Amino acid sequence: MANVSAVLKPKTQDETIDTGLTAAYREEMAEKLSAILASTYKLTIKSHIYHWNVVGPLFKPLHELTEEHYGALFGATDIIAERIRALGHLAPAKLGEAAQFAPKASEVNKKSAEDMVNDLIADHETAVKAMRKAAADAGDADDVVTEDMLTARLTFHEKALWMLRAIVAH
């Protein structure tokens, strides 16, 4: 019988991957996807915190929309991390840095619902720009899987932007 602790011990990825994507491309894309993963976590956390703390006339629509968004964003983190793994790299494991993503309590207390929405809009726009660039790079490398995943993520973020902008339209 195999030594159970030896079987369960994590190992680094030493396998040769021959899927038509170069090692250099896979490493570069894994780094880009890691940054996208971090921005997705940032939006997840902010959306959740704003969901809890929004007040005023926009409470109900923003409370419901941020709940929908943080659920979808959290699901996206798994998809992005799994693509990093499929490219032959470890998903980032610096969860201790997640605290830097969350707004400080004093910042939340001073934000109106409109300020929260505008903050989320800015973060979604930043995420969209990084995803659009990474998707173009994936397309150039014939990495249709990553390109498709990022297209789906862009679809979510652009719809989120439309909805957030509609909430604060004057």
> What string of pLDDT tens digits covers the 170 residues of the chain?
555 555 555 555 556 888 999 999 999 999 999 999 988 988 999 999 999 999 999 999 999 999 999 999 999 999 999 999 999 998 886 656 556 666 666 666 778 999 999 999 999 999 999 999 999 999 999 999 999 999 999 999 999 999 999 999 98
Task: For residue 124, give every residue at least 6 positions away whose Cβ sits within 8 Å of its Cβ, in sequence order, or none.
Answer: 43, 157, 160, 161, 164
Contacts of 127 (CB under 8 A, 6+ apart): 36, 39, 40, 43, 157
Per-domain boundaries in the chain: 36-168
CATH 3.40.50.970 fits 36-168, yes or no: no
pLDDT of residue 86: 95
- The answer to whether the CB of 131 falls within 8 A of the CB of 150 is yes
Contact 165/125 with Cβ under 8 angstroms? no
Question: Closest Cα partner for 154 from 138, 166, 167?
Answer: 138
Instruction: Give 50's contacts (C-beta < 8 A, 6+ positions apart).
Output: 62, 66, 108, 111, 116, 119, 120
